[in-house]
């Protein structure tokens, strides 16, 4: 088992090493979930100065912002955050985080229209549109000057990720170095590296469910261990267990 994991780590690092060699303008995307944290660590082993960027939203849990600040300082990530918002969240202010605010007027306008018509939040009525405005559009801005980006996708996370490849060519090259890792292997790697998990992963609900995939707060729910990790995303909506669009839409 130990050798198998070492082989996986070596394989993942080779994928990143080849990508860094082949694509000069490359960066790592980090949501500060367990998978992207493992990917950032692997990438920094290969290329200590590789840029790191993150797409944050106004609906992210405060614990995500706090964890981002801790990891940025501890691991010297120098992360750049892209976010649709009027103001920088207080927790990110004064902590050396480079935050690029993007115009919020369109999201605010459409959110208000949805609430007026339906009496509900946009993420309840139109989750795809909410993700389009708050995640996909900022991601396009983040990668506009890149040739390739490195992501923490895994085939076993959920139904939508089973057919992804380690290298994908969609205008912008996407590199998925931990695609064949398991949830347990990701956790074990982070533990071996002495890197704490986002605190939501340690929450245990009375019925035994756990948070196993973290997104925006209102769109994240716990699941049982026999379920797929992403079944807790967008629960109760038309896109339950699906994708925000960053990995399915053409970004460039």
What pLDDT is attached to residue 3?
76
The HSE-up count of residue 138 (CA atoms within 13 Å, CB side) is: 27
Q: Which residues on neighbouring strands pair with residue 53, listed in sequence order?
A: 29, 80
Contact 71, 89 (CB under 8 A): no
Q: Which residues of the chain have pLDDT under 50?
A: none
The per-residue pLDDT for range 169-186, each reduced to its tens digit, is: 988 999 999 999 999 999
Q: How far apart are the first and last CA of the chain?
A: 40
**CB pairs under 8 A, 24+ apart, for 99-102?**
100/141, 102/137, 102/138, 102/141
Domain 2-201, CATH 3.20.20.10 — does that match?
Answer: no
Residue 52's closest CA among 75, 86, 23, 83?
Answer: 75
Distance (Å, rounded) from C-alpha 109 to C-alpha 90?
A: 24
Q: What positions carry a catalytic annotation? A: 244
What pLDDT is attached to residue 215?
96
Kindly list the domain boundaries of the chain, sorted by start residue. 2-201
Distance (Å, rounded) from C-alpha 251 to C-alpha 173?
A: 10
The per-residue pLDDT for range 223-246, each reduced to its tens digit, is: 999 999 999 999 888 788 889 989
What pLDDT is attached to residue 1?
60
Contacts of 64 (CB under 8 A, 6+ apart): 32, 56, 198, 200, 214
């Amino acid at each position: 088992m130990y050798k198998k994991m070492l082989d996986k780590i070596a394989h993942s690092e080779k994928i990143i090493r080849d990508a860094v060699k082949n694509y000069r303008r490359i960066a790592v995307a980090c949501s500060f979930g367990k998978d992207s944290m493992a990917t950032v660590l692997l990438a920094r082993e290969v290329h200590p100065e590789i840029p790191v960027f993150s797409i944050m939203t106004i609906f992210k849990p405060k614990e995500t912002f706090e964890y981002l600040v801790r990891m940025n300082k501890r691991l010297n990530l120098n992360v750049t955050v892209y976010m649709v918002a009027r103001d920088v969240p207080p927790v990110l202010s004064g902590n050396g985080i480079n935050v690029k605010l993007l115009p919020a007027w369109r999201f605010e306008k459409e959110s208000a229209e949805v609430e007026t018509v339906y009496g509900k939040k946009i993420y309840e009525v139109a989750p795809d549109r909410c993700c389009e405005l708050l995640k996909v559009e900022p991601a396009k801005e983040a990668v506009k000057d890149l040739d390739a980006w490195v992501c923490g996708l895994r085939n076993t996370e959920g139904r939508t990720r089973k057919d992804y490849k380690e290298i994908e060519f969609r205008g912008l090259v996407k590199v998925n170095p931990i695609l064949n890792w398991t949830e347990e292997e990701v956790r074990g790697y982070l533990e071996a590296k002495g890197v704490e998990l986002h605190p939501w992963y340690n929450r245990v609900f009375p019925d035994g469910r756990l948070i196993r995939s973290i997104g925006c707060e209102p769109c994240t729910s716990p699941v049982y261990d026999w379920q797929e990790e992403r079944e807790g995303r967008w629960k109760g909506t038309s896109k339950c267990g699906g994708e925000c669009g960053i990995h399915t839409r053409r970004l460039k």
